[in-house]
């Protein structure tokens, strides 16, 4: 490799002959010389080549090793401004490959095989293991140590140091993704646990197919059937106060909320955000998957209590569950069927856990192998404590991020906080998710923050989380 100043080659005595002598090598490549410059015009490079006795090469560059080839002779060839990195950037690898079938176990997996290299005497060797069992696992030190103490990742394989012998036997622990997720968190935090939202969300994830959450209008119907509780009551009272409400308005709210523990229920006609033509289908879908139940509304003429009575309990005469007197079911020309959520889903919806679960369902659908936690509290060595809405592993990458019901909550300060937390947790990808539309400006703000921390970005909004809504 030579550095040649522009416009002076003609003054270098015998330099063309010295160069030609160096270029007399086996005919295993073409062209002989590459002239490249970031500032010198191509015409000047051609002129320099002419002064050195080189001819322009017009074929396709080639390289290869052959036995018994002749030596290259003048005139030698050249080309200009070809990218040289193809020949200059490479990594040398060592060793011989061998295949072995291994039966995988949850506890200890034994890997046994004969060395493809014959050793005579002592010494040590590096052994690298790869295969389907290790795919989808993050290449992190904590995970390698989980598989076997003292191992490391190298060339996308698990590398172990062993004695140089002719027969190998390794006992490995191939972890499942929940164990991997825990190990990754242990590596980046001093302590971690499921958050207030994460605990009920995880309990539901472990025993429920959450796929129906993303079906058209299912999420909207669940939100309408959710029993309003203290947070929503507070918001409504604050709104009434700002609007100058009178006593009658507050009394009406109190009558609707006061002391009532019964879950909300609605008929198809009472749904506001689900089109009437598909309302029955959506509510029946909730019943099909066991997330809601059908019933009739009983109106007691004595105590005035309105009660939801599940359909299996409606045989015989209508009896008020409050005072025990006879009542009658709500009807116009026919009986009206009402629907209410099961108690656990009602709780999850009220606590704002469903957007987390919907985001997890979307992330899982885009990967082959994954495990996610729907909310974690984390503590760090500096004494700080933070909460992440989602953390998990998908196809060998670590993901962490924030989920909002309203994208307007993604202020610049919130984005900086969220991206910083993903970086502290060692994530590869940061997640920004909302069940409505995230503006382009907000997305760009998150992208800039991720770039400064060398993080990838996944943006999920209404069209991604709730297709068809």
For residues 400 and 407, what is the distance between their CA atoms, to the nearest angstrom? 17
Left if phi > 0, otherwise alpha if psi is -120 to 50, otherwise beta: which for 352?
left
Stretch among 203-212, 283-292, 423-432 having the lowest mean pLDDT? 203-212
Task: Please indicate, yes or no, whether residues 26 and 69 belong to a single structural domain of this protein.
Answer: yes
Helix%, strand%, coil% for the chain, nearest 5? 35, 25, 40
Mean pLDDT for 61-90 is 81
Q: Say whether pLDDT at 284 is over 70.
A: yes
Task: Please indicate, yes or no, whether residues 144 and 217 belong to a single structural domain of this protein.
Answer: no
Domain C-terminal end among 27, 54, 88: 88
**Burial readout 209-240 (b: 16 or more C-beta within 10 A, e: otherwise):** ebebbbbbbbbbbbebbbbeeeeeeeebbeee
pLDDT at 259: 47
Please give the residue that has the higher pLDDT: either 461 or 303: 461
Task: Please indicate, yes or no, whether residues 378 and 453 belong to a single structural domain of this protein.
Answer: yes
In a domain, 99, yes or no: no
For residues 197 and 177, what is the distance between their CA atoms, to the nearest angstrom? 21
Mean pLDDT for 245-255 is 64
Give the position of tokens 């109106």: 299
Mean pLDDT for 60-65 is 79
pLDDT at 315: 81
Mean pLDDT for 76-87 is 84
User: What does the block give as tokens for 329?
Assistant: 């079911």
Provide, rounded to the nearest whole percent, the portion of the chain with pLDDT above 90: 67
In a domain, 194, yes or no: no
In a domain, 188, yes or no: no
In a domain, 338, yes or no: yes
Provide, rounded to the nearest whole percent, the portion of the chain with pLDDT above 70: 93
Mean pLDDT for 131-147 is 94
For residues 326 and 324, what is the distance between their CA atoms, to the nearest angstrom? 7
Mean pLDDT for 389-405 is 97
How crowded is residue 464: how many other Cβ atoms within 10 Å of its Cβ?
Answer: 19
In a domain, 198, yes or no: no
pLDDT at 235: 67
Among 267, 291, 268, CA closest to 215 = 291
Task: Please indicate, yes or no, whether residues 209 and 342 belong to a single structural domain of this protein.
Answer: yes
Give the position of tokens 């936690």: 373
- 166: which DSSP letter? S
Task: Please indicate, yes or no, whether residues 248 and 316 belong to a single structural domain of this protein.
Answer: yes
pTM value?
A: 0.75
In a domain, 183, yes or no: no
How crowded is residue 156: how many other Cβ atoms within 10 Å of its Cβ?
Answer: 11
Stretch among 60-74, 153-167, 239-253, 300-314 having the lowest mean pLDDT? 239-253
User: What does the block give as tokens for 21?
Assistant: 């002598």
Q: Say whether pLDDT at 232 is over 80.
A: no
Q: Say whether pLDDT at 40 is over 80.
A: yes
Task: Please indicate, yes or no, whether residues 325 and 444 belong to a single structural domain of this protein.
Answer: no
Among 142, 141, 186, 151, CA closest to 172 = 151
For residues 131 and 409, what is the distance between their CA atoms, to the nearest angstrom? 43
In a domain, 181, yes or no: no
pLDDT tens for each residue of 400-420: 999 999 999 999 999 999 999
Q: pLDDT grade, residue 68 (50/70/90)?
A: confident
pLDDT at 198: 96
Q: Which helix (H) or strand (E) holds 112?
A: strand 109-114
Domain C-terminal end among 348, 371, 388: 348
Task: Please indicate, yes or no, whether residues 251 and 285 belong to a single structural domain of this protein.
Answer: yes
In a domain, 30, yes or no: yes
Among 298, 292, 251, CA closest to 271 = 292
How crowded is residue 398: how many other Cβ atoms within 10 Å of its Cβ?
Answer: 21
Residue 96 CB-density burial (10 A; 0-12 exposed, 13-18 middle, 19+ buried): exposed
Kindly list the strands in the beta sheet with 370-373, ordered across the sheet, starting from the edge strand earlier in the chain.
370-373, 390-394, 397-404, 429-434, 456-460
pLDDT tens for each residue of 7-27: 888 899 999 999 999 999 888
Q: How many residues does the chain have?
A: 469
What angle in degrees, to the nearest 10, is found between the helix axes of 354-365 and 343-350?
90
Task: Please indicate, yes or no, whether residues 342 and 366 belong to a single structural domain of this protein.
Answer: no
Task: Please indicate, yes or no, whether residues 311 and 362 belong to a single structural domain of this protein.
Answer: no
Stretch among 103-107, 227-231, 340-344 having the lowest mean pLDDT? 227-231
Q: Say whether pLDDT at 50 is over 60.
A: yes
Stretch among 57-61, 233-237, 375-379, 459-463 having the lowest mean pLDDT? 233-237
For residues 435 and 404, what is the distance between their CA atoms, to the nearest angstrom? 7
What CATH number corresponds to the domain at position 402?
3.40.1350.10
Alpha-carbon Rg of the chain, whole angstroms? 35
Chain mean pLDDT for the chain: 89
Task: Please indicate, yes or no, whether residues 342 and 359 belong to a single structural domain of this protein.
Answer: no
Task: Please indicate, yes or no, whether residues 343 and 213 belong to a single structural domain of this protein.
Answer: yes
Contacts of 348 (CB under 8 A, 6+ apart): 200, 201, 204, 354, 357
The answer to whether 181 touches 143, Cβ cutoff 8 Å, is no
Q: Say whether pLDDT at 89 is over 80.
A: no
Domain count, the chain: 4
Mean pLDDT for 68-73 is 83
Q: Say whether pLDDT at 229 is over 80.
A: no
User: What does the block give as tokens for 156?
Assistant: 């996308």
For residues 102 and 142, what is the distance between their CA atoms, to the nearest angstrom? 23
Q: pLDDT grade, residue 81 (50/70/90)?
A: confident
Task: Please indicate, yes or no, whether residues 447 and 411 belong to a single structural domain of this protein.
Answer: yes
Q: Say whether pLDDT at 83 is over 90.
A: no
The answer to whether 363 touches 372, Cβ cutoff 8 Å, is yes
Residue 391's domain spans which residues? 355-465
Give the position of tokens 């990967």: 367
pLDDT at 241: 74
Domain C-terminal end among 294, 325, 348: 348
Q: pLDDT grade, residue 149 (50/70/90)?
A: very high
pLDDT tens for each residue of 182-209: 999 999 999 999 999 999 999 999 899 9
């Amino acid at each position: 490799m030579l550095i040649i100043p522009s416009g002076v080659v003609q003054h270098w005595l015998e330099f063309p002959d010295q160069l030609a002598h160096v270029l007399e090598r086996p005919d295993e490549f073409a062209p002989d010389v590459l002239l490249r410059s970031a500032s010198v015009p191509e015409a000047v490079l051609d002129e320099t080549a002419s002064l050195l006795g080189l001819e322009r090469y017009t074929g396709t560059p080639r390289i290869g090793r052959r036995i018994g080839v002749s030596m290259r002779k003048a005139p030698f060839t050249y080309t200009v401004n070809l990218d040289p990195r193809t020949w200059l950037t490479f990594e040398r690898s060592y060793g011989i490959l061998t295949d072995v079938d291994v039966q995988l176990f949850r506890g200890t997996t034994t890997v046994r095989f004969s060395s493809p290299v014959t050793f005579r005497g002592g010494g040590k060797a590096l052994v690298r293991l790869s295969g389907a069992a290790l795919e989808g696992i993050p290449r992190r030190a904590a995970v390698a140590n989980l598989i076997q103490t003292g191992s490391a990742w190298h060339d996308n394989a698990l590398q172990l140091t062993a004695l140089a012998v002719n027969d190998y036997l390794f006992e490995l622990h191939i972890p499942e993704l929940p164990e991997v997720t825990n190990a990754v968190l242990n590596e980046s935090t001093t302590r971690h646990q499921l958050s207030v939202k994460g605990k009920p969300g995880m309990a539901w994830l472990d025993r429920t197919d959450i796929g129906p959450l993303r079906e058209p209008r299912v999420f909207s119907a669940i939100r309408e059937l959710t029993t309003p509780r203290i947070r929503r009551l507070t918001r409504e009272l604050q709104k009434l106060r700002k609007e100058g409400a009178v006593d009658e308005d507050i009394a009406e709210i109190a009558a609707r909320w006061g002391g009532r523990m019964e879950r909300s229920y609605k008929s198809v006609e009472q749904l506001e955000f689900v089109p009437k033509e598909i309302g029955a289908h959506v509510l029946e879908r909730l019943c099909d998957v066991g997330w809601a139940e059908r019933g009739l509304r009983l109106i007691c003429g004595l105590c005035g209590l309105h009660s939801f009575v599940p359909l299996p309990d409606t045989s015989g005469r209508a009896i008020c569950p409050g005072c025990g007197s006879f009542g009658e079911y709500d009807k116009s020309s026919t009986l009206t069927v009402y629907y209410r959520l099961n108690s656990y889903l009602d709780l999850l919806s009220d606590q704002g856990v469903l957007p987390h679960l919907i985001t997890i369902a979307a992330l899982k659908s885009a990967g082959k192998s994954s495990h996610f936690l729907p909310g974690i509290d984390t503590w760090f060595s500096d004494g700080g404590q933070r909460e992440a809405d989602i953390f998990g592993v998908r196809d060998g990458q670590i993901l962490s991020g924030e989920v909002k019901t309203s994208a307007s909550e993604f202020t610049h300060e919130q984005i900086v906080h969220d991206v910083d937390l993903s970086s502290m947790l060692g994530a590869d990808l940061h997640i920004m998710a909302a069940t409505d539309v995230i503006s382009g400006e907000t997305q760009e703000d998150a992208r800039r923050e991720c770039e400064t921390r060398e993080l990838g970005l996944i943006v999920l909004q209404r069209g991604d989380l709730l297709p068809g809504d």
